[in-house]
Amino acid sequence: MINIVIFGAPGSGKGTQSELLIQEYGLSHISTGDVLRGQIAQQTELGKIADSYISNGKLIPDELMIDILDKVLDSMQDSKGVIFDGFPRTINQAEALDKLLAKRGASLDIVIGLEVDEDELIKRLINRGKTSGRSDDNLETIQKRLDVYHSQTNPLREHYIKKNIYKAIHGVGDVTKIFGEIKHAIDSL
Binding residues for ligand AP5 (CB under 6 A): 8, 10-16, 32-33, 36, 53-54, 57-60, 65, 86-87, 89, 93, 124, 128, 136, 145, 173, 175, 178
Can you name the residues that pair with 82 across neighbouring β-strands? Answer: 3, 28
> For 35, phi and psi rounded to 5 degrees?
-60, -45
| Residue whose Cβ sits closest to ligand AP5 | 33
Binding-site partner at residue 25 among Mg ion, ligand AP5, none, CB < 5 to 8 Å by type: none
Distance CA 6, CA 116 (A): 13
**Binding status of residue 15 toward Mg ion by CB under 5 A:** yes
* 89 is annotated as an active-site residue: yes
Stretch that binds Mg ion, among 13-21, 37-45, 88-96, 131-139 (CB under 5 A): 13-21
* 104 is annotated as an active-site residue: no
Comparison of 128 and 183: residue with beta carbon closer to Mg ion: 128
Binding-site partner at residue 1 among Mg ion, ligand AP5, none, CB < 5 to 8 Å by type: none
Phi and psi based region of residue 133 (left: phi greater than 0; alpha: psi -120 to 50; beta: remaining): left
* 134 is annotated as an active-site residue: yes
Please state the closest distance from residue 128 (CB atom) to ligand AP5, in A. 4
